[in-house]
Copies of this chain bind each other. A is one copy, B any other.
Amino acid sequence: MAGDELGSLRRTRYSADVSAGADGERAVVMGWVASVRGHGAISFMTVRDRDGDVQVVAKAGSCPDGVRERIAGLKVHSSVAVSGTVRASPRSPSGAEVVPDEIRVFSEAARTPPFEPAAVTVKNIDTRLEARHIDLRRRPLQHVFRARSAVLRAVREHLYGEGFTEVSTPKMISSATEGGAALFSIFYYDRGAFLAQSPQLYKEQLTMSFEKVFEIAPIFRAEPSRTARHLSEAISIDVEEAFVDYADAMDGAERVVGAARGAAARYAGANAGSGLAVPEMPAGGIPRRAYGDVVDAARDAGAGVEWGDDLHPSALRKAGLEGFYFIKDWPAGPKPFYVKPGGPGGPRASESFDLMFGDLEISSGSTRISGRAELEERMRNKGMDVGDFAHHLGAFDYGVPPHAGFGIGLERLMMALTGTANIRDASFYPRDADRLAP
């Protein structure tokens, strides 16, 4: 069907450009059939593109019969081009419609879809994920992912503006970053290797040469957690800086989240009806609560938690913590080997923080150890093999500066910024212990 090829035909208008002001002008629109209704001598079709919907009205006498009949027989999801004339029309939500004189059907939908492209909610997330290619056409997801793109743009521009250099660190690594658990194994030519669960050691090394670095890239965690907030593959916003400590890093993380929230709010403002629930930033800045104080508050509220324990979501909820806040000065014991112990929380604490949104951890950061002897001691205390880290430790012979940094989980940040309940809907093609496809 040569008549249904793209050939030299090109879109001349997006849906947003089909308006009453263009009455009488020519238009070629392209997109997907979102709905079709036929009433004998008249067929109505909604074509959905990136920007929204176009009404196509094919009426006997004002368009060729073949075009009208072809439209009446189309299934939703088919991809089409319509050439015709814009006509102002108060019946159309956009104030205009297209009267077609030609239609090309590039790809006719072969099956009845498992759910409607216009559906706001679809109950079973697995049904959606199995047909993710069309699930992502649904407006609620379109808004989350377009906002995500805007957030990434704003975050990077913010970091460039602060003088950070963008870096890329290897994802195939020879040794375990944070102690060996939760790593995916790979075959690297003739030997074994791992997928990086964070760029931690590399970004620390890069402060020796670039001082202020960031990377936004995938991380891989073989945690068989089946929750609404864990993924096996996620995007991490990693930031690291020389000559600063964790208090500076908290300032930096707060500015990054502020830039991200600003972008999400602008997106929601420009897209009425997006349904995105963008939270406010706390007046006066993101509060910084000491770990010990949070433990006390949770215990006072009835949570069975004491100093040294992890703070589970239930304890945080009992303590009544909401919105964005930091928890700082965590116990040193459970922290990764590179986190600097001590600081204002006392000798058993560490110069560390988590950035929370309600009971959801968004980010984690710390001052890092910059002395080789101290780092090796921490590794041995954790039962790690110092020899596995010869290259990394070698860097410490050449003036590793005092440094600090943080990582932000992009999908969790987007959950917080858009009101998305399941982290799988902040990832285009989520990966978890049960899902490796599509």
Contact A187 B185 (CB under 8 A): yes
Assuming the contacts A187-B184, A401-B107, asked whether A6 and B243 have C-beta atoms less than 8 A apart, the reply is: yes
Residues of B within 8 A of A243 (CB): 6, 10-11, 30, 81
Residues of B within 8 A of A149 (CB): 160, 165-167
User: B-facing mask of A72-94, CB < 8 A → 1, else 0?
Assistant: 00000111010000000000000
Q: Does A3 contact B (CB under 8 A)?
A: no
Contact B395 A133 (CB under 8 A): yes
Q: Which residue of B lies closest to A214 (CB)?
A: B149
A160 in complex: contacting residue of B108, B153, B433, CB < 8 Å: B153
A139 CB to closest chain B CB, in angstroms? 11
How many angstroms from the CA of A5 to the CA of B42 in the assembled complex? Answer: 80
A184 in complex: contacting residue of B156, B172, B218, B401, CB < 8 Å: B172
Residues of B within 8 A of A205 (CB): 132-133, 438
Q: Does A33 contact B (CB under 8 A)?
A: yes
Q: Does A233 contact B (CB under 8 A)?
A: yes
Residues of B within 8 A of A395 (CB): 133-134
A402 in complex: contacting residue of B6, B146, B398, B438, CB < 8 Å: B6
Q: Which residue of B lies closest to A205 (CB)?
A: B133
Q: Does A106 contact B (CB under 8 A)?
A: yes
A210 in complex: contacting residue of B145, B217, B394, B438, CB < 8 Å: B145
How many angstroms from the CA of A113 to the CA of B437 in the assembled complex? Answer: 48
Q: Which residue of B lies closest to A168 (CB)?
A: B235
Contact A107 B436 (CB under 8 A): no
Contact B189 A133 (CB under 8 A): no
Q: Which residue of B lies closest to A234 (CB)?
A: B168
Assuming the contacts A10-B243, A398-B113, asked whether A142 and B106 have C-beta atoms less than 8 A apart, the reply is: no
How many angstroms from the CA of A130 to the CA of B195 in the assembled complex? Answer: 21
Q: Which A residues are closer than 8 A to B by beta carbons?
A: 5-6, 10-11, 30, 32-33, 49-50, 77-79, 81, 106-111, 113, 130-134, 136-137, 141-142, 145-146, 148-149, 152-153, 156-157, 160, 163, 165-175, 184-189, 191, 193, 195, 202, 205-206, 208-212, 217-218, 220, 222, 224, 232-233, 235, 242-245, 370-372, 391-392, 394-402, 427-429, 431, 433, 436-438
A73 CB to closest chain B CB, in angstroms? 15
Interchain Cβ contacts under 8 Å between A and B, 9 examples: A10-B244, A79-B399, A79-B400, A79-B401, A106-B401, A110-B397, A170-B429, A172-B436, A184-B186
Q: Which 10 A-B pairs give the minimum distances between C-beta atoms? A: A391-B438, A136-B209, A79-B399, A133-B395, A6-B402, A77-B398, A110-B397, A79-B401, A149-B166, A77-B399
How many angstroms from the CA of A32 to the CA of B207 in the assembled complex? Answer: 11
How many angstroms from the CA of A210 to the CA of B146 in the assembled complex? Answer: 9
How many angstroms from the CA of A208 to the CA of B429 in the assembled complex? Answer: 14
Contact A399 B33 (CB under 8 A): yes
Contact A208 B156 (CB under 8 A): no
Residues of B within 8 A of A132 (CB): 205
How many angstroms from the CA of A211 to the CA of B163 in the assembled complex? Answer: 33
Contact B172 A232 (CB under 8 A): yes
A437 CB to closest chain B CB, in angstroms? 5
A220 in complex: contacting residue of B107, B172, B174, CB < 8 Å: B172
Residues of B within 8 A of A172 (CB): 184, 195, 220, 232-233, 431, 436
